[in-house]
Structure 1
Amino acid sequence: MENQTKKRGTLVAIITMMFLFAMIAFVTNMAAPFGTIWKQHYEWAGMMGNMMNFAAYLFMGIPAGMMITRYGYKKTALVALALGFVGIAIQYVSSTMDGDALGTYVVYLLGAFVCGFCVCILNTVVNPMLNLLGGGGNRGNQLIQTGGSLNSLAATLTPMLAGSMISEITKDTSLKAVTPLLLIALAIFAASFVIVWFTQLTEPETEKSDVLAGIKGALGYRQLVLGIVAIFFYVGIEVGIPGQLLFYLSEPVAEGGVLGSAVIAGLIAGVYWLLMLVGRFVSAFISGKVSSRMQLTVTSSVAIVLLLVAIFMPETSKMSLTVPDLAESTLIRAEVPTKVLLIILCGICTSVMWGVIFNLATEGLGKYTATASGLFMTMVVGGGVMPLIQNLTATKVGDIQSYWLIVAMLGYMLFYALAGSRPVKKD
């Protein structure tokens, strides 16, 4: 009887963590579609919302790990959800202000920054919890990939909904266009807080030791140190690929764009996240047999090849697409560069990278796992830094040529898979 009760508690904990995994994507993936609006008012502003969202990780990564060791996973998750509600509320306030004023943009960025604290803490809770509930190893990675599937589903729907609300982008487009999405987000956060409040979680043991000693102990593992760098680059890759694609396809034709449609751009970006869902779903089934190292090696290599072909493919090579307009309930036919297909196919490759990097980097860390997760979250700031660098590079060399930065980061992923992830404990 006691064993059955323990199993039931473990199942409830796993389901709750999976739900929170979806919340992370919902908040994070609003930034890029919103950025297509702000870019029309300030050229430099396209990725700033995303940057603020991820900048919070730099400040909250280690404190989030400390919160887990002191207060436990459930209380830490509740704090995160409360911060998410506040952050979305601030963004909602900005949507009711003058859409073309710099002050409005500052308020929006503040909301994005607060939301960043939310997703950072949730990430710190979810990943080690699922890894530990699965017992580490391939089973731990399997649970992380399953949670990642729900994360990708939320990530798929968010840019699609935002794009349908924004429709065609002009100089007059403001954040008021996405007010309904912000209201939906507020309702989801409120409901999530209530659900987690009444959920009984079986807390895994954490090491309640000196913080600096914990960090020093965790950094004694070479695979973790190199894995932290890998996570910095990986999040930049995951966000940068669809983020820059949104700008590439939504830029008005009159200003040199190839399509000029936020609706189609949002749908195509949504397909990227949908392919991540497919990849994670497949990985959840094969991770029990295929090692994390092999998965990272194959996916990094394939993604490099796809992007190299896309970069050199002529823009005149096009394909016809018929996509639904969710706002108008009609079908839209458009001609888009064929290279777009190769770029979104990278979603299958990037889908498994988070889970396998986390799994490889924390293998054998034991009591340092929570501290390691906090260090990981700090370096997720790469999801703000690298896409911002890519976006600024694109203003100089063009959207497609900016993907050379992604190729270079994928090269590091391949190095980590082949050599950097080998477990080595420093003396």
Structure 2
Amino acid sequence: MTLKPSFTEKKYIVTLIFVTSLFMLWGIAITMGDTLNKHFQNVLNVSKSQSGLVQFSIFGAYAVMGIPAGLFMKRFGYKNGVLLGLFLYALGAFLFIPAANTESFSFFRAALFILACGLATLETVAHPFVASLGDQRTSDQRINFAQSFNGLGAVIGPALGGFFILRAGQDYTNELDSVKFLYIVIGSVITVIALSFAFVKVPPLSDPHNADEPGTTDAPPKKLFQHRHFVWAAVTQFFNVAAQGGTWAYFINYSVEINPGMSDERAAYFFSLSMAMMMAGRFLSTFLMRFIAPNKLLSIYAVANIILCIIIAQSWGTVSFVSLIMLNFFFSIMFPTIFSLGLKDMGKYTQQASSYIVMGVVGGALFPPIMGIVANKSVAAAYYLPIICYSVIFVYGFALYKVKK
């Protein structure tokens, strides 16, 4: 009988805990950007389509930093890759100080870009890092488990933004001071974490994706882009994060418009609730993957979100608003599952493949400004656009995920 593969090994537990915490840290930063999106509309008088450039700055960094981060990781290892990511994260946070002082939207975008270069580095490193902490057969479960804490960060981000930016901003003469002080705290916390991780001893890793180990299936040798399941994973990730970026960027706008009398601050708390749904979806789906193949669950969730987007676009009051909140439950597993499926049996190309899949995140930079153009006329109608993205995800989970020998 074949023994059921374990989730991880005892020697990796401390490392797994620390790396899992990184997923939470970038979850906070990503969703904080969506709060800033609305705040900049209010304070800097930018339009919805212009505020979409916040997401362009964040997700655009992934396109720029994906390959360099992968090369750095390959040359200097996982641990140093994490330290580089944390350094850039903290640096970008501290640059919010001069950005707020100059009240410059462009300066804020530059600070966000540098911060997001750190996030891109962390994502590039953390996914194969987590995948290497045990048997490859359970890598889907480990990555989805770690991404569950990304969901926790995504809950914390809007709550922090709502309280310390949208609410606290009203207590300052300069409403950007609330942004500055919050990011000073964030930068300080990230610096402490980086210094702490520098002293963590990472055990030698026996990477399950390594081509030199038995059980790999990349013989006869294939070039990187001959692995079709990986190529389609990168393409699908582009559309996946495009849907994420657009949906989150205008959540607060939609909430306020469909609920007369709702404040931006309260809408941010509902955004946090929707992120709690995403976290719940990841924990529940990690369990369901023991019984349902990850690719099948991915396709089922894509169909669910297509239906929800149609309902959201109708502006049916409470029904549409609840559908918007529920969208994140089914979105929950998409990023980690696409990532994990794309890395299957990539052998020596695993780290390089991770870089390209992370680069697919640039979809989150391009889609929000496009949705913003539609949102300038109708925020509800803008939610028809993510249907295109979820259709691509459905096809990937249904057929394109398969590893070709």
Work out whether the TM-score is over 0.5: yes
Question: Does 2:292 correspond to 1:311?
Answer: no
Match of 2:183 in 1: 182
Residues 1:416 and 2:400 are matched in the alignment? no
RMSD: 2.3
How far apart are residue 403 of structure 1 and its match? 0.8
Aligned to 2:275: 273
Distance (Å, rounded) in 1 between the aligned partners of 2:263 and 2:168: 5
Deviations 1:258-308 (A, max 9, x none): 445111110111111111100111122232332111110111111111221
Q: For 1:306 and 1:235, locate their aligned partners in 2 and report how far apart those are by CA, in whole Å.
A: 17
1:89 aligns with 2:94: yes
Quote the residue 1:42 is aligned against: 46
- Assess if the C-alpha contact under 8 Å between 2:169 and 2:176 holds in 1: no
Aligned residue in 1 for 2:71: 66
| Match status 1:381 vs 2:362 | yes
Question: Which residue identity lines up with residue 146 of structure 1 in the other structure?
Answer: F
Structure 1 residues 95-151: Cα deviation after superposition (integer angstroms, max 9, x where no partner): 2x143xxxx2121111101011100000011111112213223x1111111111111
Please give the alpha-carbon distance, in whole angstroms, between the structure 1 residues aligned to 2:382 and 2:95. 32
Who is 1:24 aligned against? 26
Residues 163 and 142 of structure 1: CA distance in aligned 2, closer, same or farther (over 3 Å): same
Deviation at 1:12, TM superposition (A): 1.5
Paired residues of 1:21 and 1:147 also in contact (CA < 8 A): yes
5+ long unaligned stretches in structure 1:
1-5, 209-215, 318-336
Q: Secondary structure of 2:135's partner? A: coil
Deviations 1:48-96 (A, max 9, x none): 122111111111111111111100000111111111111000013222x
1:212 maps to what in 2?
Answer: none
Larger CA deviation: 116-125 vs 376-385: 376-385
1:242 aligns with: 248
| Mapping 1:203-214, distance limit 5 Å | 203-204=204-205, 205=207
Taking the aligned partners of 1:313 and 1:30, their CA distance within structure 2 comes to 26
Any gaps of 5 or more consecutive residues in structure 2? 1-7, 212-221
Name the structure 2 match of 1:117: 117
Count of paired positions: 381
TM-score by length of 2: 0.88
In 2: Cα distance, 1:309 partner to 1:45 partner: 26
Q: Distance in 2 between matches of 1:167 and 1:133?
A: 42
Q: Is the 8 A contact 1:36 1:250 kept in 2?
A: no
Matched, 1:368 2:353: no
Give the aligned residue type for 1:42: V
Shift of 1:179: 3.1
- Cα distance in 2, alignment partners of residues 55 and 221 from structure 1: 25
In 2, are the aligned partners of 1:94 and 1:107 still within 8 Å (CA)?
Answer: yes
Show the 5 A alignment for 1:159-174: 159-165=158-164, 166-167=166-167, 174=175
- Which one of the candidate residues 297, 304, 318 is aligned to 1:302? 304
Tell me how far apart the structure 1 counterparts of residues 129 and 385 of structure 2 sit (CA, whole Å): 33
Shift in alpha-carbon separation, 1:299–1:313, aligned structure 2, 3 A: same
Deviation at 1:257, TM superposition (A): 8.2
Q: Is contact 1:230-1:416 (8 Å) kept?
A: yes
- Asked if the contact 1:223–1:423 (Cα under 8 Å) also holds between the matched residues in 2, the reply is yes
Query: TM-score of the superposition, structure 1-length normalised?
Result: 0.84
Greater shift in the superposed pair: 108-117 or 357-366: 357-366
Identical amino acids, percent of aligned pairs: 23
Match of 2:152 in 1: 153
Equivalent in the alignment of 1:321: none
SS in 2 for 1:30: helix
C-alpha offsets along residues 364-386 of structure 1, whole Å, 9 cap, x if unaligned?
A: 11221111000011111111211
- 2:129 corresponding residue in structure 1: 129
1:220 to 214, 219, 226: 226
Match of 1:340 among 321, 330, 334: 321
Give the deviation of 1:424 after TM superposition.
2.1
In 1, Cα distance between the equivalents of 2:161 and 2:70?
A: 32
* Pair 1:142 & 2:126 matched: no
Counterpart selection for 1:57 from 48, 53, 62? 62
Q: Is the 8 A contact 1:168 1:262 kept in 2?
A: no
- Distance change (3 Å), C-alpha of 1:257 and 1:346: closer
Letter of the 2:160 partner, please give it: L
